[in-house]
């Protein structure tokens, strides 16, 4: 297994090279540079701008700069922000835990809701519960994340406050007047986490349902029933484990969606994460910071895919690791 994981991780290297090369090209092929904006400023002398350009290394052609950037990366150095000189790695590490907290708690919530929903809908196939769950799944699938999030804020923050009910905060990660303790953080996490999770619950529960329905028709399930095993044993011992296999891949592949969804959710709820950092970086044309956040998104995606593959190999003994 260790050898498999190592081999599989090595496959990520060429992909990351491709990602960094492509994003470096996209960023640097546009006319203009962070310094060009300074040139429009009459207070800044052209010589100053030129000096700054040289200092940031922007006077060299971009492929050469890319090789330099890559060399620094191999030494674990992501460079420093072109906007204010702060280390890119420090900025990313400062907000990464927030994004991970948001997306992983949304992932957990979505799984905790979607799995029982899907199983129950499959077991009660064609019941009213099944129909409601199927309609709900479709309804959630087409839902714009940002609209859903805003509706939840309007209901649970604004209206609940008006009605004198306990209300949730509109945004932010902690209450500026509060103590910033665990309870305070938790209350601020609820709405962003629920908005992000709700979108996934629909498609995941529909997926689990169809996977369960398919597995329930397998011969070994019929055999288990025929030899007189109870419904619980058949369901939890014989069906679930097999029905879960495709879910592992689906969840691994949905993780990038979750990170992407977090970008919007972070912006709505003023959640200080990597998505907001990305938007800040592109708005300031902060090339080094943009490269850092893009690399981070790619690493998160590839690691998620890796985990899905490894989990699949663990759960399914038929997978040969050679």
Partner 1 sequence: MARATSTDVIRPVEPDDLAAPDAASGRLAPGGLLTAERGELRATPGFYRRSWRRFRRNQVAMAALVIFGLVALFVLVAPLISRWTGFGPYDNHLANKLAPPLTKGYMLGSDGNGRDILTRLAYGGRVSLMIAFLATISTLVLGGSIGLISGFFGGWVDTVLMRLVDVLLSIPGLPLLILIATLYNPGPAGLALVLAAVGWPGIARIIRGEVLSLRGREYIEAARVSGAAPARIVVRHLLPNVAPLIVVFASLAIPGLILAEASLSFLGIGVQVPTPSWGNMLGEAQRYFRTNTSNVIIPGAIIYVTSLTLYLIGSGLRDAFDPRLGD
Point out which residues bind partner 1 (CB under 8 A).
14-16, 18-19, 22-23, 26-27, 30, 138-139, 141-147, 150-151, 153-154, 158, 256-257, 259-261, 263-264, 267-268, 275, 278-279, 282-283, 285, 290, 293-294, 297-298, 301-302, 305
Taking the least distance from each CB to partner 1, the nearer of 234 and 275 is 275
Closest listed residue to residue 277, CA positions, set 178, 269, 266: 266
Q: Which of 22, 237 has the CB closer to partner 1? A: 22
Angle between helices 182-216 and 145-153 (to 10 degrees): 130
Distance CA 150, CA 107 (A): 20
We find the least distance from the C-beta atom of residue 103 to partner 1, in angstroms, to be 11
Half-sphere exposure of 165 (CA within 13 A, CB side): 9
**Which of 13, 51 has the CB closer to partner 1?**
13
Q: Which residue, chain included where needed, has tokens 């907000």?
A: 95
Q: Would you say 30 and 282 are in contact if contact means Cβ atoms under 8 Å apart? A: no
Q: Residue 85, SS3?
A: coil
Work out how close the CB of 224 gets to partner 1 at its nearest, in angstroms, rounded to a whole number: 28
Q: Are 114 and 200 in contact (CB under 8 A)?
A: yes
Name the DSSP letter for residue 284.
Answer: T
Question: What angle do helix axes 274-283 and 240-268 make, rounded to 10 degrees?
Answer: 40
**Closest among 99, 96, 141, 144 to 262, alpha carbons compared:** 99
- Of 239 and 294, nearer to partner 1 (C-beta) is 294
Taking the complex as a whole, how short is the minimal distance between the CB of residue 259 and partner 1, in angstroms? Answer: 5
Q: In the complex, what is the shortest distance from the CB of residue 181 to partner 1, in angstroms, rounded to a whole number?
A: 27
- Using the minimum distance from each CB to partner 1, give the nearer residue, 26 or 237: 26
The least distance separating partner 1 from the CB of residue 200, rounded to whole angstroms, comes to 14
Q: Give the nearest distance from C-beta 15 to partner 1 in angstroms.
A: 5
- Nearest residue (CB) to partner 1, 101 versus 123: 101
Give me the least distance between CB of 258 and partner 1, in Å please.
9
- Phi and psi at 77, nearest 5°, equal -115, 115
Total residues found in the chain within this entry: 322
Query: Which residues is 80 bridged to in the sheet?
Result: 87
By beta-carbon proximity to partner 1, the closer residue of 80 and 267 is 267
Task: Give the Cβ contact number of residue 128 at 10 Å.
Answer: 8
């Amino acid at each position: 297994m260790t050898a498999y994981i190592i081999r599989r991780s090595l496959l990520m290297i060429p992909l990351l090279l491709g990602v960094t090369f492509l994003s470096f090209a996209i960023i640097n092929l546009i006319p203009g540079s962070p310094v060009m904006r300074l040139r429009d400023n009459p207070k800044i002398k052209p010589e100053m701008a030129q000096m700054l350009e040289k200092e940031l290394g922007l006077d060299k052609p971009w492929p050469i700069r890319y090789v330099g950037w890559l060399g620094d990366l191999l030494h674990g150095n992501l460079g420093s922000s072109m906007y204010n000189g702060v280390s890119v790695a420090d900025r990313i590490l400062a907000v990464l835990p927030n994004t991970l907290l948001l997306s992983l708690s949304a992932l957990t919530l979505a799984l905790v809701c979607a799995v029982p929903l899907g199983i129950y809908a499959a077991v009660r196939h064609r019941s009213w519960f099944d129909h409601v769950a199927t309609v709900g799944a479709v309804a959630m699938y087409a839902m714009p994340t940002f609209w859903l999030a805003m509706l939840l804020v309007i209901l649970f923050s604004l209206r609940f406050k008006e009605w004198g009910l306990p209300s949730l905060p509109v945004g932010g990660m902690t209450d500026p007047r509060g103590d910033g303790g665990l309870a305070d953080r938790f209350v601020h996490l609820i709405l962003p986490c629920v908005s992000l999770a709700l979108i996934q619950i629909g498609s995941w529960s529909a997926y689990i349902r169809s996977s369960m329905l398919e597995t329930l028709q397998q011969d070994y399930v019929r055999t288990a029933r025929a030899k007189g095993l109870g419904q619980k044993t058949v369901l939890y011992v014989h069906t679930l484990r097999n029905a879960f296999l495709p879910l592992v891949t689906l969840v691994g592949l949905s993780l990038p969606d979750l990170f992407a969804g977090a970008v919007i959710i972070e912006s709505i709820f003023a959640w200080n994460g990597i998505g907001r950092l990305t938007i800040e970086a592109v708005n300031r044309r902060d090339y080094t910071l943009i490269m850092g956040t893009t690399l981070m998104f790619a690493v998160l995606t590839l690691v998620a895919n890796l985990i899905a593959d490894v989990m699949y190999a663990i759960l399914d003994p038929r997978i040969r690791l050679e």
